[in-house]
Structure 1
């Protein structure tokens, strides 16, 4: 492939809804550029980008994959991404190093949830975006319906450039050149004149094309409304400038499976899409702020690691982009996060799973280095270790499950395997919950966690079960009581004696608020710490269902002691007895965790979402129009954590996948009587089991 200069490198990520043909589009690009000698197909499990056994088994992408190609002497790093929301962390990685995005759209299904999310992600990242309306080999495909939906959703910036025509969709119209094209079975493009029966259609969409590019400048807008000619040169410049500025989103069309429209798309990527130096600056972290630094392709070398794969055989594979300067295999770079110096001895370019070693990479290019033991995703390595590029902000996981081994004694295997997966998946969380005595895993959805289960078995040989996690309930009391505890034991020689009188009541602090008001030395001061310790230990188990006791105030006001037999242990046990005597009489209650729920939802689905929240014992706290997202609302509510176990699936069903949510612990509240009784009964069953 050879080395390319920075101005001749394009980094393009493919985004869109699951099943809209992103991987097929990448495969078509590879085939027509002779990057591969056969056209791989997802159903056959032989594509370059979906090479992982899990991807082949499931028939869809699970991770971002790189496919570098060359077209018109321009290197294009195509980054294929998953379409399912469960793997959006991979999308964020791709967008971070991409210079532009192509959003694939199914010509039959039209604008879907993933289409809108792809637009939002690319817009937030500030990268140029274009559409490729795919699957015109499907007899039910409709350009008119799909294009209208794109314009209705994203506005007049959606600009038709290449559109299909003809009864068999075997002719494509280029609205910039006002030419027609046909494609053979190998994707080769042949220019032809526009047939007479298509000239009216061409004129209609050419007017839309001019309308979009006229929006890029006042001069062109005046010409458009005055019906003056906009020259091809003016239109081409406006298309390029508008794409870079984000004011135009060009629309291209074709069929990845039939190789139609691929070469014209590649022409536009090579001619109009930006190189790394086109944006001139990159964002870096300086202290607690984000600043901009100039990009210098001849300056000091700096690379940013955007992805890590923990391969069981190769080891850690670090994928990076050369952000500044040039990288070669003689260099040693310093990690700004860890301070470690890493050797760049073996540099690779990656095409799917194929690795090709190279001596150097230009600024803006993408590559991989294996076995950087002190480097992780989001790290910056540079000559002097002082540069830190803006990190990838990953979505927070929201689905929590308990994970347990099918075979007893495999807990350590789970921890080892999951920790390896954590190196490559920054949307995964794992912890050992000491309170519930469960290993807990968090992810972005049921499919996400299901793939984790599969990888643990295939890579690390451990089979696991996922179950709903136990809820970390609490107990407290609602009224004051006085209680007594006396520990007395005589068995020859020194005995044991401790006697306390304690007033218990609701406390303001989360744990124990311990005070003493002993008069006359009935309990010596030296035993006060033992009493407090005894109470703290006793509070680990409540009297209703064995959950930890919180918000407890205890005042030691009286007691007695023995000169010989009293000890710290005796007073600690006496305090525990007082706890057991008093708490059951102090109106104990069960506390349940309540979280803050924020749901982003289309206006039309508000009623169903609010109704579902009410069924979950939730309280709607407010509703507000979503900024920057027309037709969407944010519903804010407070919901008991116990009612949220299946909310991911429920919201997906209610909203058709258009809704999203965040849920964070807020506080503990008293559980209603019937709910508390059910919790107590369940706890007793678990204790007996």
Structure 2
């Protein structure tokens, strides 16, 4: 920490930083809402270590993190970006994660690749709901964390208020190490003032007007450190009025931060605080050797024990991000957990179990291409990547995000991290025949890059549906299709698969009698059609007596009925929940045939549909909504307005409630967007098909009118 060492830096300008040992690596993900200043902070740290010449832009005019063409156009981070640097001989891999809820998949990938997290909070804006949720995720796995309050020199900045909010929202163990004051920082442990107002860091005595405030915060900080100390005698000494040595406090602070028991708060602004932050990262955050290894199994699922973060151990690495470059091809961001990755070696690629989203499982060998350390668009070559480090790998043609790389003679599989469920369906179609020809390949490339995307080719509605995290996610995907892959698509109205059924019991005849000069067609069948309870499926009953319909043609009648059921009898949707009884008919010794009776069966079902009401059925989903307590009333009211039936609520953890309901699928196609707005980004939901129910008559009339039109 700057309190301890003074914050010297080591530059790495123009050269890719390398690490030879895991203990010389720190992997840190930056977490925070969009606009909190994560990318600006990354660039300030890169400049402070000499990795780039100045904060802001690299040679090609893009920012170090936001270099993707979509990010440049939209002026926001949508990708997980790696920015390596070196400070005091320690390689720091900064993972700049998107701050928008639609791209939480990349953010969780960053959490998987990192060993600690920096929660970035703007002094002018405070904490949002997504940041709070991610803090809880980190707490669940005891990930070490620190809080960085940025923009302390902003005209609307209020450090004290935002600090109080962080302590209220994040809970115990959150305490500042520094207080911003007049263009500098006051170190609470060192009791020194680090003045940046002259353009460089100068150490001075703290201002007299700040001494009382400093002592107040310093006392709270020391108490927090002592509470987390493994030395139980410290508390007794402190309560007895003894002055605890600064070195002892710093050592205990670093241990508490590394094990995830204490969460220091730092402050940064323009040209302020980089040295202090770098010190807490290098000396307070753990190395990869201290991080718990994810569960590892053999390909057939048998647990593998004893693998550690050892460069000489068996290779176990994971693809945490995949991108496609139109010139370089596919680039994979890889975290090495064990062993050492080298160019041109052959590795085994193991799949990740997301086949239901269009991501096929993998079990193949691939040759590693060039290894590099990315900085913006620049890929700087590196000779190897040791356990604990992160690098970019070129031309892994089969590996996708979430896949495991291991020794080809000892294939292994890492348990994949939890991916959020995409719940916003977006139907698309190609704008031209040329676009249609290229669409399939382009979509497969998108799927390989983004495990939060689910691709559905709905055979029933004949639509291509992209299941996305939200509108911004969908817009980015369509932008990439157009700009990166040269495929123009347009959104079309999503068709929800309805069903049809009979509203009563009736009898009908199917007559297929035609004479054409040679062999004609002759088939007559009499059917009785009656509805079954919801979920009853289809029953075909044979009540023919006396051979009026020859035995070999009875399956033909059933086949014809089934074919017509698939085509529908009202609006073109499949017919369900009916019992069809064949009770009479006629045949001809010469002109009757299999096809003739298939046609007769279909005609009979169509005639029956005209004799009784035919109902449209809509799918109903079981919906579970997890939301903060203050939004429960709004959520329940909204679900009811969607023709939903609220089944009940139950408390889940601190300040959150699970709302269960049954809601028609037609009413929740855009619920992912509406819930986010209603809950200020804190609500999540899960849906699963439950059953079909009759569509209200006024809506059914609109559907049938649209079909007729």
TM (norm. structure 2) is 0.91
Assess if the C-alpha contact under 8 Å between 1:159 and 1:213 holds in 2.
Answer: no
| Equivalent-residue separation in structure 2 for 1:650 and 1:224 (angstroms) | 53
- Partner SS for 1:348: strand
CA distance, structure 1, for counterparts of residue 439 and residue 48 of structure 2 = 44
Q: RMSD of the alignment, in Å? A: 2.2
Deviation of 1:646 after TM superposition, in Å, equals 3.2
Deviations 1:495-554 (A, max 9, x none): 211111122122466643222121111111111221111011101233332211112221
Q: Does 1:314 align with 2:328?
A: yes
Matches within 5 A, 1:134-283: 134-165=150-181, 168=182, 170-183=183-196, 188-217=200-229, 218-223=232-237, 225-255=239-269, 258-279=270-291, 281-283=293-295
1:260 to 1:536, Cα distance in 2 relative to 1, 3 A: same
Give the 3 Å change call, closer, same or farther, for CA 290–637 of structure 1 in structure 2.
farther
Q: Of 570, 579, 584, which residue of structure 2 is paired with 1:544?
A: 570
Q: How many residues align?
A: 676
Equivalents in 1 of 2:157, 2:682: separation in Å? 23
Going from structure 1 to structure 2, the CA distance change for 1:621 and 1:280 (only over 3 Å counts) comes to closer
Change (3 A) 1:467 1:280: closer
Cα deviation, 1:537-573, whole Å, max 9, x if unaligned, reads: 1012333322111122212122121111110011011
Q: Distance in 2 between matches of 1:79 and 1:511?
A: 52
- Provide structure 1 residue ranges, at least 5 long, that are not aligned to the other structure: none
Query: 2:545 aligned with 1:489, yes or no?
Result: no
Q: Distance in 1 between matches of 2:239 and 2:687?
A: 50
377, 381, 393: which is aligned to 1:353? 377
1:49-104: CA deviation from partner (whole Å, max 9, x where unpaired): 11112111111101011110000110000010110011111111111110101010
Change in Cα spacing, 1:520 to 1:32, as seen in structure 2 (3 Å) is same
Equivalent position SS for 1:544: coil
Change (3 A) 1:438 1:333: closer
Cα offsets for 1:634-666 (capped at 9, x unmatched): 211111111123323322332222323233332
CA displacement at 1:330 relative to structure 2: 5.5
**1:76 counterpart = 2:76:** no
Contact (CA 8 Å) 1:283, 1:293: kept in 2 or not?
Answer: no
Return closer, same or farther for 1:662/1:282 CA change in 2, 3 Å cut-off: closer
Q: Which runs of 5+ in 2 are unaligned?
A: 1-16, 352-361
Instruction: Name 2:3's counterpart in structure 1.
Output: none
CA distance in 2, matches of 1:121, 1:289: 27
Q: Which residue of 1 aligns with 2:437?
A: 412
Pairing 1:289-688 to 2, within 5 Å after superposition: 293-295=306-308, 296-329=310-343, 331-337=345-351, 338-383=362-407, 384-408=409-433, 410-507=435-532, 511-627=537-653, 630-685=654-709
- Please identify, of 176-185 and 590-599, the stretch whose mean Cα deviation from structure 2 is larger: 176-185
Q: Distance in 2 between matches of 1:440 and 1:657?
A: 24
Q: CA deviation at 1:277?
A: 0.5
User: Any idea what SS the aligned residue of 1:340 has?
Assistant: strand
Point out the more displaced range, 388-397 or 93-102. 388-397
1:20-35 superposed matches below 5 A: 20-35=36-51
3-state SS, counterpart of residue 678 of structure 2: helix
User: Structure 1 pair 435/343, CA: closer, same or farther in 2 (3 Å)?
Assistant: closer
Per-residue deviation at 1:149? 0.7
* TM-score (norm: length of structure 1): 0.94
Is 242-251 or 364-373 further displaced after alignment? Answer: 242-251
Structure 1 residue 620 displacement after superposition = 0.8
In structure 2, how many angstroms separate the alpha carbons of the residues matched to 1:667 and 1:290?
39
Q: Distance in 2 between matches of 1:546 and 1:341?
A: 47
Distance apart, 1:211 and its partner CA: 3.0
Q: 1 CA distance for matches of 2:245 and 2:707?
A: 77
CA–CA separation in structure 1 for the residues paired with 2:296 and 2:168: 36
Taking a change above 3 Å as real, the CA distance of residues 524 and 624 of structure 1, as seen in their structure-2 partners, is: same
1:288/1:110 CA distance change after superposition, 3 Å:
same
- Tell me, yes or no, if structure 1 residue 108 matches structure 2 residue 124: yes
Greater mean deviation of Cα atoms: 321-330 or 142-151: 321-330
CA distance in 2, matches of 1:598, 1:291: 36
The alpha carbon displacement at 1:306 in A equals 1.4
1:288 Cα deviation after fit: 5.2
8 Å Cα contact 2:469/2:672 also seen in 1:
no
- Once the 2 structures are TM-superposed, how far is the Cα of residue 452 of structure 1 from its aligned partner? 1.2
Shift of 1:407: 3.1
Contact 1:290 1:390 in 2 (8 A): no
CA distance in structure 2 between the aligned counterparts of 1:341 and 1:56, rounded to whole angstroms? 36
1:350, 1:368 within 8 Å by CA — same for their partners in 2? Answer: yes
Shift of 1:440: 1.3
Shift of 1:367: 0.8
Measure how far apart 1:297 and its partner are.
3.1
Deviating more after overlay: 237-246 vs 193-202: 237-246
Give the conservation status (yes or no) of the 8 Å contact 1:282–1:292.
no
Contact 2:57-2:64 within 8 A present in 1 as well: no
- Judge conservation of contact 1:485–1:499 (CA < 8 Å) in 2: yes
Structure-1 separation of matches of 2:233 and 2:504: 77
More moved, 409-418 vs 354-363 = 409-418
Deviation at 1:609, TM superposition (A): 1.6
- Asked if structure 2 preserves the Cα contact closer than 8 Å seen for 1:104 and 1:134, the reply is yes
2 CA distance for matches of 1:4 and 1:185? Answer: 38
Assess if the C-alpha contact under 8 Å between 1:68 and 1:78 holds in 2: yes
Secondary structure of 1:388 counterpart: strand
Counterpart CA distance in 2 for 1:480 and 1:222 is 86
Q: 1:401 to 1:510 in 2, by over 3 A?
A: farther
Instruction: Indicate how the Cα distance of structure 1 residues 391 and 326 shifts in structure 2: closer, same or farther if over 3 A, else same.
Output: same
- Taking structure 1 as reference, are residues 185 and 97 closer, same or farther at Cα in structure 2, changes over 3 Å only? farther
**Partners of 2:293 and 2:337 within 8 A in 1:** no
Distance 1:107 1:549, change over 3 A: same
Q: Is the 8 A contact 1:281 1:293 kept in 2?
A: no
Rate the CA distance shift 1:625–1:542 in 2: closer, same or farther, 3 A: same
Q: Quick check: 103-112 or 345-354, which moved more? A: 345-354
Aligned CA distance change for structure 1 residues 293 and 163 (closer, same or farther; 3 Å): farther
Classify the secondary structure of the residue corresponding to 1:28: helix
What secondary structure is seen at the aligned counterpart in 2 of 1:152? Answer: helix
Confirm or deny: 8 A CA contact 1:95 1:125 kept in the other structure: no
